[in-house]
Amino acid sequence: MTSNCLMCDLENADDAKVVFRDDLWAAEIVPGYEVPGWFFLRARRHADRITGLNDAELDTFGHRARNMVAAVTQATNAEATYMLMFGEKYTHFHVLITARGAQVPPDRRAGDILKLRLEQSDPARAMELLPAVRSTYADATSGSRSASAATVGRS
Ligand SMILES: [Zn+2]
């Protein structure tokens, strides 16, 4: 299945690039954003922007966002972890979660971290980090969601 939406196309992403998928949400490494410690958290349904989310999505987003930020922070030992939302180039609701490690210089912090998208793209290293994020995320969600949140699979 292909579409004109990068976020929808991620349904076909290789399992190796998937942190988790559940009924409503997924997190993956995304082509073109392969900086180590960067992940997209997206609605699995094509919902336009945060204003297009339904009640079930709105009710669960906070927990998924918190658990992803916690997992990325723990797995990368980041000093800070950012969550960015634009909804302009890709209107399908998603957020970009980025680890900001101690090595990131002051002029590449906060909004300027997006300059690293091209400067520090390293797909191999990004993939190396994923298993730790996946297992940390699964541990964080195992109390309330048991196996389903840890299950990685294609739809
Ligand atoms: Zn979409």
Q: Calculate how far, in angstroms, residue 3's C-alpha sits from the geometric centre of ligand 1.
A: 8
Q: Calculate how far, in angstroms, residue 44's C-alpha sits from the geometric centre of ligand 1.
A: 8
Helices (H), the chain: 6-9, 55-76, 116-119, 123-150
The structural domain count of the chain equals 1
Q: Calculate how far, in angstroms, residue 47's C-alpha sits from the geometric centre of ligand 1.
A: 7
Q: Calculate how far, in angstroms, residue 139's C-alpha sits from the geometric centre of ligand 1.
A: 28
Confirm whether 151 is domain-assigned.
no
Confirm whether 43 is domain-assigned.
yes
Q: Calculate how far, in angstroms, residue 57's C-alpha sits from the geometric centre of ligand 1.
A: 15
Q: Domain with 128 in it: what CATH number?
A: 3.30.428.10
Residues 6+ apart with CB under 8 A from 101: 37, 76, 77, 78, 79
Task: Say if residues 130 and 27 touch (Cβ distance below 8 Å).
Answer: no
Confirm whether 110 is domain-assigned.
yes
Confirm whether 32 is domain-assigned.
yes
Task: Look up the domain containing 97 and give its range.
Answer: 6-141
Confirm whether 41 is domain-assigned.
yes
Confirm whether 149 is domain-assigned.
no
Confirm whether 22 is domain-assigned.
yes
What are 41-98's pLDDT values in tens digits?
999 999 999 999 999 999 999 999 999 999 999 999 999 999 999 999 999 999 999 9
Supply the pTM of this predicted model: 0.89
Q: Calculate how far, in angstroms, residue 102's C-alpha sits from the geometric centre of ligand 1.
A: 34
Confirm whether 146 is domain-assigned.
no
